[in-house]
Amino acid sequence: MELTRRAAPNVGLPMDTSIPSQNMDSILNRNTPAASIYQKSLNLLDKLACIDGFETYLKSLLEDTTRDAKNGTPYLNPIQLLWDTFRQGTSLCVIYNALQPVEPL
């Protein structure tokens, strides 16, 4: 087997410094979301409180038990509060009925 040397590139020529054409929508070039999931959850809780009949589901979790169902601590996380509220199931029916369907639940 014989090794051969390659010719060295021309060092004296200027390099092309233009940006290669590539997909500019890569994950590194995207803007970050304006609000975190924490902030979005707080906004959703505010909107859900405006639905007639839904506030009772939020109050039942906050006032009656004042405890996170998972580990018995007070609700400090709006995401967990939303999860426990929707887990009840009947709260989802209130949202559905707020859309005024032909046949409410």
3-state secondary structure of 47: helix
Tokens found for residue 17? 């410094």
Q: Which residue has the tokens 């005024």?
A: 100
How far apart CA 26 and CA 21 sit, in angstroms, is 12
Amino acid 28: pLDDT: 64
pLDDT-derived band at 36 (thresholds 50, 70, 90) equals confident
What pLDDT does residue 16 have? 55
Dmax over CA atoms of the chain, in Å, equals: 84
pLDDT, tens digit (0-9, with 9 covering 90-100), for 48-88: 988 888 888 888 777 754 555 566 666 778 888 898 888 88
Alpha-carbon torsion 41, 105, 87, 55, what sign? positive
Distance from the Cα of residue 2 to its chain's centroid = 59
